A and B are shown apart, each in its own frame.
Chain A
Amino acid sequence: MPTKAAFVRKDMLAPQEPPVSERGAIKWARENLFSGPLNTFLTIVGVLAVFLIVKSALPWLLNGVWNANSMAECREIVAARHGEGATGACWAMVRERWHQYLFGFYPQELFWRPTMAFGLMFVALAPVLYFGNRTINMRMTAVAGVLTILALAGVSASFPQTIAGSEAGGLALLAAVIVFAGLTAVAWMAPRRLLILTLLYPAIGFYLLWGGSIWGPVGALAGFAILAVVYNLTKAQLGVVVATGAGVVVAAIWWLVVQSHVTGALHSILPLGTAHVDSDEFGGFLLAFVIGVTAIAASLPMGILLALGRRSDMPLIKALSVGFIEFIRGVPLITMLFTASLLLQYFLPPRSNFDLILRVIILVTFFSAAYIAEVIRGGLAALPRGQYEAADALGLDYWQAQRLIVMPQALKISIPGIVSSFIGLFKDTTLVALVGLHDPLQGVTKVVRAAIEWKGIYWEPYIFVGLIFFACCFSMSRYSMYLERKLKRDHR
């Protein structure tokens, strides 16, 4: 007996299009822009604001002048083309002064050195950013190579009195071609070998930028060798953690006290080297990158160590880490920069004649490391205890467990926070203007404005510098998203 509740469908329904009001742009606009009186009001206000901004800025941007020798000439040209009272940007300033924004007061005949250092930086970064990915490693190396060579050609064409005119210029270009072709080949055949360049890059970069005696960077590298030797010799007796500490202490003594004597002696025996460039001559994005990249590269390992120290069972290490992190986070960066320019001199051994850039780098690194440590601590806290126990039960020692099990997972969780810190750090490099360094935003701009011909220029340098900063920070942000997506896909 079929009951009333029984029902059997005879023919199945085909799917139909949704009604017009539920489709496409209309639906989207209704839901997102006009979903209520408040939203409708905000939409109208928003559109109005955008309109006003564009209305006032667009002519200024479109009327921009690229060829002129001074601000006054720019104004004349704008007035002639677009009538009296018209406004126009004076990009001619960028055209004339771009090299100061990029290199500061670096000697023009040596522009090839920072250019080369910049190009090599990407090759050194490739195996770190895209570990084990041969195609991307090779592509990145090749692109960095081509762009560097073009940049070298461009730089020497812009300053014909420097290297392009001489035979040395041609030779330098040829050398760059050979170097990058070789690196691309290495990236293709054995991408992991590029890591050797990555490890040596700090010394190479330092030497390219500052020049001088070759023994300086060699001595700095020797410090790391000393660290490794001390660690290996004492590991059996002292255990890994204490042995690491001992290695760091001995290496620090080498760097701060002994190294300058030894390298000085070596230089007097065998004076190898190139033209020295003083830190005073650094400026613009060269300075921003030197400080930003070094501090980023150094603050990550330091932040990791601080985060581990903060979770350590050893009371002394824990107290030191907590004290360091909390102190640094409690002090404004500006204060630390002033410290760098004044106070640090008193704490360091008298003969270590640290230059200002190095001091600023150290304090910016400390500053960033404290924040990174806290970000990573969050990642560490998210790791289940079972991961540590499994590592222990398998017999991994402390550093092995950290390196192979804990950090890969904790860092993965912390990527967004770490990259935010890095982006913040990179932008904060502009604060070094306050201690008299020529950062691109204020330092160089001040110099440009002080010149008679560019007196009165206002927005253009900020827009130019801002765009470059944006490109850098946006790339970092995109890379972080790429990395998150990749790790998520890989590990599930």
Chain B
Amino acid sequence: MSDPHAITREIDRSHMQVSDEVAIQITSMNKWYGAFHVLRDINMTVNRGERIVICGPSGSGKSTLIRCINRLEEHQSGHIIVDGTELTNDLKNIDKVRSEVGMVFQHFNLFPHLTILENCTLAPIWVRKVPRKEAEETAMHYLSKVKIPEQAHKYPGQLSGGQQQRVAIARSLCMRPRIMLFDEPTSALDPEMIKEVLDTMIELAEEGMTMLCVTHEMGFAQAVANRVIFMDQGQIVEQNEPKEFFNNPQSDRTKLFLSQILGH
């Protein structure tokens, strides 16, 4: 296997513990875009501390699935329960879930009119009502963690893609979420920047964060994930722990997908 972004470093697994507590519970969930059945009978339980990688061909509904978890998309049947709060039309529940769940997008979606620091302090100040001073200290803490504290007063447009994505991660962390969702966080990056973002994500995993990552970085999946979910045509086709998933795929679709993505 030749993976240009193979994870070579040693992973510290001392804090990566999966607890019995359920973080996300999805049962018989279906979603349609008009007449198009995009998610079909999704059942999935995520325990606290799990690191799950979701992969699958383009258009298989991966983004839609994780966007349902913080209600960026609405599901039409079934249940999604995040940290004990069911996602319904009740705005209060949605707000509660969104404040527990952080999300990182493929295209970063930083706010271009605000500085890096302001990007990171905005939600804590307005949503969590944290005093500005404290919010700034928290922001600087997380910006140091993603190794760009010196860029705090620049604007997003002045940063490289990899730096922007790390800011986006820090921005989410500033809300102190208990669950992090990643939607192809490295797909829009130049190859030399992928590693710095993956490193940040690995560090997060090492601290025991519950993570759902849509990604095709199989090196990351093997090094960090405790479970890999393969989706196709809006369904969960196969899920397994990484070693089994990669070495002993069961379904033909999974085999085909793996052979394409790993370039055998």
Q: Tell me whether A395 and B155 are in contact (CB under 8 A).
A: no
Q: Is residue B79 within 8 Å, beta carbon to beta carbon, of the partner chain?
A: no
**Chain B residues whose C-beta falls within 8 Å of the C-beta of A389 in the assembled complex:** 72, 105, 109
Residues from 81 to 108 in B contacting A, C-beta threshold 8 Å: 91, 95, 98-99, 101-103, 105, 107-108
B3 to chain A, nearest CB (A): 28
Q: A492 to B91, alpha carbons, bound, how many Å?
A: 35
Q: A168 to B98, alpha carbons, bound, how many Å?
A: 63
Q: Tell me whether B91 and A404 are in contact (CB under 8 A).
A: no
How many residues on A have C-beta within 8 angstroms of the other chain's C-beta atoms?
22
A303 to chain B, nearest CB (A): 20
By secondary structure, the A interface counts as: helix
Residues from 183 to 208 in B contacting A, C-beta threshold 8 Å: none
Name the residue on A nearest B96 (C-beta): A395
Name the residue on B nearest A389 (C-beta): B72
**Chain B residues whose C-beta falls within 8 Å of the C-beta of A396 in the assembled complex:** 122-123, 126-127
Q: A404-B122, A409-B112, A492-B158 are in contact. Are A394 and B107 (CB under 8 A)?
A: no
Query: 1/0 per residue B142-163: CB within 8 Å of A?
Result: 0000000000000101100000
**Chain B residues whose C-beta falls within 8 Å of the C-beta of A427 in the assembled complex:** none
**Chain B residues whose C-beta falls within 8 Å of the C-beta of A490 in the assembled complex:** 113, 155
Name the residue on A nearest B108 (C-beta): A386
Q: Is residue A405 within 8 Å, beta carbon to beta carbon, of the partner chain?
A: yes
Q: Is residue A349 within 8 Å, beta carbon to beta carbon, of the partner chain?
A: no
Q: Tell me whether A394 and B171 are in contact (CB under 8 A).
A: yes
**Chain A residues whose C-beta falls within 8 Å of the C-beta of B122 in the assembled complex:** 394, 396, 404
Q: A400 to B128, alpha carbons, bound, how many Å?
A: 13
Q: Is residue B175 within 8 Å, beta carbon to beta carbon, of the partner chain?
A: yes
Q: Is residue B70 within 8 Å, beta carbon to beta carbon, of the partner chain?
A: yes
Q: A395 to B82, alpha carbons, bound, how many Å?
A: 15
Residues from 170 to 184 in B contacting A, C-beta threshold 8 Å: 171-172, 175
Q: A239-B91, A404-B126, A412-B113 are in contact. Are A393 and B72 (CB under 8 A)?
A: yes
B: residues with CB less than 8 A from A are 70-72, 91, 95, 98-99, 101-103, 105, 107-113, 122-123, 126-127, 155, 157-158, 171-172, 175
Q: Please name 8 pairs of A and B residues whose Cβ atoms are closer than 8 Å in the assembled complex, sorted by A.
A: A239-B91, A389-B109, A393-B98, A393-B102, A393-B103, A394-B171, A404-B126, A409-B113
Supply 10 further A-B pairs (C-beta < 8 A) apart from A395-B95, A491-B112: A384-B109, A392-B71, A392-B72, A393-B98, A394-B98, A394-B172, A395-B175, A396-B122, A491-B155, A492-B157
